Structure 1
Amino acid sequence: MRNLWRPLGRVFSPAAGEPWCASHAANPTALALADGNVRIFFSTRDTSNRSSAASVDIAIDGDRFEMLGRLRGPLLTPGARGSFDADGVTVSSVVSHDGKLYAFYLGWTVLVHVPFTNFIGVAVSDDGKTFRRGSSVPVVGRSPENPLSVGYPIVLRDGPGWRMWFGSHLHWGQKGLEMLHVIKEARSPDLVQWTPSDAVVVDVAGPTDPLEFAISRPSLLREPDGSLSMWYARRRPHYELGFARSTDGARWERRDQDLIFVGTPEAWEDKERTYPFVFDHGGRRYMLYNGNGYGREGFGLAILEQ
């Protein structure tokens, strides 16, 4: 499979504005609109480093894009004190079902002995502009299968039901961001009740790349032949992009070496590219991604070379 990407430029650069959007534009997530444009959801941070959900709309025509209108938000804000998302929300997947939009997000809680914990929540919208929490508790949280922290969900239709791939902490190290973070999956009949699997579907490289300690932010597409393609973020310790293929969504073959960006990186992305979201639009395939500082420098758009 050809996996050669050409950057088209930075789409959005965060700038200090209102208190809720003082910095960052992280984890860009695309949703196709009925008018042919694309809405991009992402998380921005306030002056206390708590994240809220925002969006911008863009028009894409081949290798050209244009931002339409202004930043919209906050669409979803941190939860109440003591809740699983009290320190922030980061939308990671938006699906349409029965006339509503379901935004799956990771909720942030800042901790003392480890840096943070994440659990997966869902918010619902009737118009794509305002969201309400679908539940005050996580839809995927701590369990025997996922004992520490889960986040960065991506949801796809799977026959009569739904399927989610997400990141799971299996281990915290002795200090800082030392961790073991892998990709797992869950299934649901209704987008509300989710049953996680115990299996690791994409693991870290292990002895073949001992620097790698995390695989996160999976982005999936189903190919015309029914197979699945996954793009994801790797941490080793700087962020990089990775790629894998699967015929069933449970067993994946990593092909990180196949993912190539052409050209010279711009200054905002010259140290790392991460948090990919890949989507098809107008007969072409595109990737949204973050650059340096996983959102501090904004996000860009790349096109798959034909």
Structure 2
Amino acid sequence: MKAWKKRGLVFCPNQNFGWMQTHAAVPIAERIEGDLYRIYFSTRDATNRSRTGYVVIDLQKPQAILELSENPVLDIGALGTFDDSGAMATWLAEWNGQRYLYYIGWNLGVTVPFRNSIGLAMGAPTRNFEKIYEGPIVDRTMREPHFCASCCVIPGADVWRMWYLSCTGWEVRDGRPSHHYHIKYAESDDGVDWRRTGQVAIDFGDSQEYAISRPSVLYAGGLWRMWYSHRGAAYRIGYAESENGIDWSRRDALAGISVSETGWDSEMIEYPHVFQHDGQTFMLYNGNGYGATGVGLAVLESK
């Protein structure tokens, strides 16, 4: 695998609006036209509730912000619903002229800090997104009793594929509840109703690793390729390959990107979103503080 060349920090909120105080986490790229892209991200208000906003950039001049959303693309849900404490976009898919925006709903907990599940909003091109249901489309079940979160969805005429975060349990560590989660695989005929068998896509590498999240999958060169976050002491970006999209081999040494020596992504690097544009492969990602220091851009070197 070739190395990624970092293009620098693109955007970091700084109390821009009441709903956009800090963080630009879990970025997603949507092409508008030419080199123009809308970059969706999850931001937080003063009480840590997350909503989804966006910036518009030119990939050739990514530090120049051309537009910043004044209102959320996705807002929190009604009191008591699965997303009443946060609506965090995690993946955007397009199929038959319709856009499918999958997002993480947040509920606050008592015995544990939070619970997540996956919701869906939809919108035609140039139209706003609207939540399809008040409830989640992927949630905990009798066989997955904890929570589900960040996902990647690839539509297909034969089958829709989803790779998603699945919590395997909580434990008390240093007097506080600590979660464990890895990445599982599901299939669907329509992108809404999902068949889940418990198939693990990316599992823990060792006893020190406890969090694997935010899968980003491309099919290229005859292989399914996945970039993702994995954490022991601190988040890093990993890489895996698969011939069928179901059975994966971790090859983290080939991820091609890591923390910088100094600066906004010197402590951790996570939440990759990989996409192709005009023959090149780009990555959006977060650095220190789970998105507190903003969104960066990298391009896969051609040589």
The TM-score with structure 1 as length reference comes to 0.93
Q: 2:225 — aligned with what? A: 229
Task: Return the offset for 1:115.
Answer: 1.3
Q: Could you tell me which of 144, 147, 154 is aligned with 1:149?
A: 147
The answer (yes or no) to whether the contact 1:92–1:106 under 8 Å persists in 2 is yes
Provide, for residues 135-194 of structure 1, a one-character-per-residue CA deviation record: whole Å limited to 9, x for no partner: 111111111332110010110023423111000001111243522211001111111111
Q: 1:164 — aligned with what? A: 162
Q: 1:137 — aligned with what? A: 135
Q: 1:104 — aligned with what? A: 102
Distance 1:271-1:262 versus aligned 2 partners, 3 A rule = closer
Distance 1:160-1:49 versus aligned 2 partners, 3 A rule = same
Indicate whether 1:24 and 2:20 are aligned: no
Q: Distance in 2 between matches of 1:45 and 1:251?
A: 36
AA matched with 2:166 = S
The answer (yes or no) to whether the contact 1:101–1:124 under 8 Å persists in 2 is yes
The answer (yes or no) to whether the contact 1:6–1:263 under 8 Å persists in 2 is no
Distance 1:171-1:128 versus aligned 2 partners, 3 A rule = farther
Structure 2 runs not aligned, ≥5 long: none
| Paired residues, number | 299
AA matched with 2:254 = D
AA matched with 2:250 = R
Structure 1 runs not aligned, ≥5 long: none
Q: Could you tell me which of 280, 283, 287 is aligned with 1:284?
A: 280
AA matched with 2:288 = N
Indicate whether 1:195 and 2:200 are aligned: no
The answer (yes or no) to whether the contact 1:119–1:138 under 8 Å persists in 2 is yes
Q: 2:54 — aligned with what? A: 55
Q: 2:297 — aligned with what? A: 301
SS in structure 1 opposite 2:155?
A: strand
Q: Give the alignment of 1:34-49 within 5 angstroms.
A: 34-49=33-48
Distance 1:302-1:262 versus aligned 2 partners, 3 A rule = same
AA matched with 1:142 = R
RMSD: 1.7
% same residue? 36
AA matched with 1:6 = K
Task: Return the offset for 1:197.
Answer: 2.3
The answer (yes or no) to whether the contact 2:5–2:299 under 8 Å persists in 1 is yes
The answer (yes or no) to whether the contact 1:56–1:67 under 8 Å persists in 2 is no
Task: Return the offset for 1:128.
Answer: 4.7
Provide, for residues 75-95 of structure 1, a one-character-per-residue CA deviation record: whole Å limited to 9, x for no partner: 111101110011001111111
Task: Return the offset for 1:305.
Answer: 1.3
Distance 1:263-1:189 versus aligned 2 partners, 3 A rule = closer
Provide, for residues 255-285 of structure 1, a one-character-per-residue CA deviation record: whole Å limited to 9, x for no partner: 1111233894441111011101111112111
Distance 1:103-1:265 versus aligned 2 partners, 3 A rule = farther
Distance 1:266-1:212 versus aligned 2 partners, 3 A rule = same
